[in-house]
Amino acid sequence: MTSFSLSPTRLILALLAAGVLGGGAAAWTLGSHANANAPAPAAPPVTAPAALSAPFPGAPDFTAIVQRFGPAVVNIAVSNAMPEGDEDQAGAAPDPNDPVFQFFRRHGLPMPNLPRGGLPARGEGSGFIVSADGLILTNAHVVRGAKEVTVKLTDRREFLARVVGRDDKTDVAVLKIDAANLPTVPLGNPNDLRVGEWVLAIGSPFGFENSVTAGVVSAKGRSLPDDGYVPFIQTDVAVNPGNSGGPLFNARGEVIGINSQIFSRSGGYQGLSFAIPIDLAVRIKDQIVATGHATHARLGVAIQDVNQALADSFKLARPEGALVAQVEPGSAAARAGVKTGDVITGFNGQPVVDASDLPARVGQAEPGKPARLDIWRNGAATTLNVTLDKLADSGIRPAKAERAVEKARLGLALRPLAPEESRAVGVASGLVVEEVQGAAARAGVQPGDVLVAVNGKPVDSVAAVKRVLDGAGKSVALLLQRNGQRLFVPVRIS
Residue 117 has pLDDT above 70, yes or no: no
How distant, in Å, are the alpha carbons of 36, 129, 149, 292, 405 from that of 40?
9, 14, 21, 28, 65
- Category of 30 on φ-ψ map: left (φ > 0), alpha (ψ -120 to 50) or beta: beta
Kindly state whether residues 219 and 70 are assigned to the same domain. Answer: yes
Report if residue 403 sits inside a domain. Answer: no
- Category of 186 on φ-ψ map: left (φ > 0), alpha (ψ -120 to 50) or beta: beta
Q: Report, as an integer, the average pLDDT of 435-456.
A: 85
Confidence of residue 227 (pLDDT cuts 50, 70, 90): low
pLDDT tens profile 468-482:
887 777 788 899 988
Cβ atoms of 231 and 221 closer than 8 Å:
yes
Report if residue 333 sits inside a domain. Answer: yes
Report if residue 419 sits inside a domain. Answer: yes
**Residue 206 DSSP symbol:** G
Q: How many domains does the chain have?
A: 3
More confident residue, 391 or 162: 162
User: According to the model, what pLDDT value does residue 393 have?
Assistant: 47
> Of 292, 319, 342, which residue is a domain's last?
292
Residue 102 has pLDDT above 70, yes or no: no
pTM of this structure: 0.64
pLDDT tens profile 29-72:
323 333 444 444 555 555 555 444 444 455 678 999 999 999 99
The most confident of 85-94, 237-246, 414-423, 424-433, by mean pLDDT:
237-246
CATH code for position 350: 2.30.42.10
User: According to the model, what pLDDT value does residue 1 have?
Assistant: 34
- CA 290 to CA 337: how far, in whole Å? 34
Evaluate the CA torsion angle 64, 70, 219, 359 in order and state its sign.
negative
User: According to the model, what pLDDT value does residue 494 have?
Assistant: 58
User: According to the model, what pLDDT value does residue 266 have?
Assistant: 66
φ, ψ dihedrals at 80, nearest 5°: -130, 35
Active site residues: 141, 171, 244
Three-state secondary-structure class, residue 452: strand
Residue type present at position 337: G
Kindly state whether residues 382 and 439 are assigned to the same domain. Answer: no
- CA 353 to CA 408: how far, in whole Å? 29
More confident residue, 245 or 438: 245
Confidence of residue 262 (pLDDT cuts 50, 70, 90): confident
Residue 189 has pLDDT above 50, yes or no: yes
Least confident of 8-17, 293-302, 361-370: 8-17
- CA 235 to CA 213: how far, in whole Å? 11
pLDDT tens profile 264-302:
766 667 788 999 999 999 999 999 999 888 888 889 888
Confidence of residue 491 (pLDDT cuts 50, 70, 90): confident
- CA 492 to CA 318: how far, in whole Å? 17
Kindly state whether residues 74 and 100 are assigned to the same domain. Answer: yes
Residue 27 has pLDDT above 70, yes or no: no
The separation between CA 58 and the C-alpha centre of its own chain, rounded to angstroms, equals 33
Kindly state whether residues 66 and 157 are assigned to the same domain. Answer: yes
pLDDT tens profile 404-419:
222 235 778 888 877 7
**Residue 195 DSSP symbol:** T
- CA 221 to CA 390: how far, in whole Å? 23
